[in-house]
Amino acid sequence: MMTIEPFYDVSHDTAQTFFTDETKPKTDWEQQYGYLLFVDDVAIAFFVLYPMSVEAVWLRRLWLHEQANPALLMMMFDWISDYAKTQSYNDLYTHLDDPTKHVLLEMNHFHLAEEVPTAFEGTKGQCYVKSLSTHATS
């Protein structure tokens, strides 16, 4: 079973077990908007959903624990998208500074953003967006 917990709700022991000194959240925004993703009560990933507006959120960090199965990365994009949707966001943004990984985003229904939000000013790479809205097709 998959669960997502805000970083600030995670026990000190769980955080100590999951993070190293180098990987633990250090900035206020990582601590405030960070989440741990658990599968069968084992923390496998840390991510940050940084609000940009009422309708848009930035997947600003995504870190898979080194002992986690890399195949879970594909499902994590769906789980994170679903979670963002439950928080009433319509668009999930991220950026990529390694162009060789664009296929991973495209496989997960992200596409290059036509308009780059101001939150991305000063970031290297390209801005991608995934619509979380469900539109009925006729």
CA-based Rg of the chain, rounded to a whole angstrom? 15
Instruction: Please say whether the beta carbons of 33 and 62 come within 8 A.
Output: no
The predicted model scores a pTM of 0.89
- So what's the pLDDT on residue 136? 40
Is domain 2-131 annotated with CATH 3.40.50.300?
A: no
The answer to whether the CB of 85 falls within 8 A of the CB of 115 is no
Secondary structure of residue 85 in the 3-state scheme: helix
What letter would DSSP give residue 79? H
Q: How far is CA 113 from CA 85, 96, 132, in A?
A: 19, 12, 14
Structure confidence by residue, pLDDT tens digits, 29-53: 999 999 999 999 999 999 999 999 9
Q: How many residues does the chain have?
A: 138
